[in-house]
């Protein structure tokens, strides 16, 4: 869109921000995996909101954030958590200044430090602006139980859950000969985090993957994108109701 097209929108828009990371996702998925998933979630959620009568704009993805769990793996680019918070706050304030109705965060990066940065940003925006903010944290209820079985086990980094979405969205970016030969790694990241582990290596993922990459499929990926889109749409409508 041009600036004049944005200025001419008939009603204050829902601005959807895809948030991912540049980090290791096994030997078979690209560093941009979380960005790919976040953009799919944003696109699908935005389409559902538009079909329900909302004005929606999709923002360019925020691809850099805190990623300390994968920081030792080549290619991972990790920001300080306060930098990530400031980026989201500044984006939200700019949107508020231009009259946006809602900032919807379509987040696909689940590193606990990053999630803390997003929650801090949401709190600050709610305290200092009139902007409604929708941030469905996929690691929490009611959203987590609506995703796949592998996701719920916590063994879901670059495994079947994420691999399926990338197969659906960017199949040419998957190293499929490597993917189909990888054995499952059932070490649970969520359990490791509760136990105080701080890296993929400590959590039992020496090749930066968890779950069952070989079981991934494009069909499951499409179903997962639909679920993520509905989660985002519901979170936005909940935020709008709370702002009334």
What is the DSSP secondary-structure string of 28-91?
TB-TTHHHHHHHHHHHHHHHHHHHTT--EEEPPPB--B--GGGTTSTT-BB--HHHHHHHHHHH
Query: Angle 38-33-70 (CA atoms, 0-180°, nearest 5)?
Result: 110
Helix (H) or strand (E) holding 115: helix 112-128
Q: Is the pLDDT of residue 244 over 90?
A: no
Instruction: Give tens-digit pLDDT for 109-142.
Output: 999 999 999 999 999 999 999 999 999 999 999 9
Q: Provide CATH code, domain 13-237.
A: 3.40.50.10310
What is the average pLDDT across 45-64? 98
Residue 145 confidence (pLDDT): 97
Q: Tell me what percent of the residues of the chain surpass a pLDDT of 70.
A: 100
* Domain residue extents for the chain: 13-237
Confidence band, pLDDT 50/70/90 cuts, at residue 229: very high
- What does the buried/exposed string (b/e) look like for 188-202 if buried means 16 or more CB atoms within 10 Å of the residue's CB? bbbebbeeebeebee
What is the average pLDDT across 80-85? 98
E strands, the chain, in order: 14-19, 56-58, 102-107, 132-134
Residue 223 confidence (pLDDT): 98
Q: Tell which residue, 75, 73, 72, 27, has the closest CA to residue 183.
A: 27
Q: How far is CA 205 from CA 26, 180, 185, in A?
A: 9, 17, 8
Instruction: Give tens-digit pLDDT for 147-177.
Output: 999 999 999 999 999 999 999 999 999 999 9
Residue 143 confidence (pLDDT): 97
Q: Is the pLDDT of residue 89 over 90?
A: yes
Instruction: Give tens-digit pLDDT for 185-225.
Output: 999 999 999 999 999 999 999 999 999 999 999 999 999 99
Q: Is the peptide bond before 142 cis (omega within 30 degrees of 0)?
A: yes
Confidence band, pLDDT 50/70/90 cuts, at residue 57: very high
Residue 14 confidence (pLDDT): 98
Confidence band, pLDDT 50/70/90 cuts, at residue 181: very high
């Amino acid at each position: 869109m041009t600036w004049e097209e944005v200025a001419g929108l008939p009603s204050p828009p829902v601005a959807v921000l895809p948030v991912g990371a540049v980090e290791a996702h096994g030997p078979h998925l690209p560093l941009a995996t979380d960005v790919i998933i976040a953009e799919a979630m944003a696109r699908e959620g935005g389409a559902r909101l538009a079909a329900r009568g909302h004005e929606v704009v999709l923002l360019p993805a925020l691809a850099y954030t805190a990623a300390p769990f994968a920081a030792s793996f080549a290619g991972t680019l990790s920001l300080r958590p306060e930098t990530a918070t400031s980026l989201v706050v500044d984006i939200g304030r700019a949107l508020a200044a231009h009259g946006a109705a809602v900032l919807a965060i379509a987040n696909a990066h689940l590193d606990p430090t990053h999630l803390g940065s997003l929650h801090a940003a949401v709190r600050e925006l709610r305290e200092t602006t009139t902007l409604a903010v929708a941030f469905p944290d996929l690691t929490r209820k009611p959203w987590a139980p609506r995703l796949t079985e592998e996701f719920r086990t916590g063994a879901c980094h670059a495994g079947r859950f994420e691999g399926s979405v990338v197969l659906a969205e960017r199949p040419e970016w998957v190293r499929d000969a490597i993917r189909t030969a990888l054995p499952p790694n059932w070490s649970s990241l969520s359990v490791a985090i509760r136990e105080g582990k701080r890296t993929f290596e400590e959590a039992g993922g020496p090749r930066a993957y968890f779950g069952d990459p070989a079981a991934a499929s494009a069909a499951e990926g499409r179903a997962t994108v639909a679920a993520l889109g509905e989660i985002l749409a519901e979170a936005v409508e909940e935020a709008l109701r709370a702002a009334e």
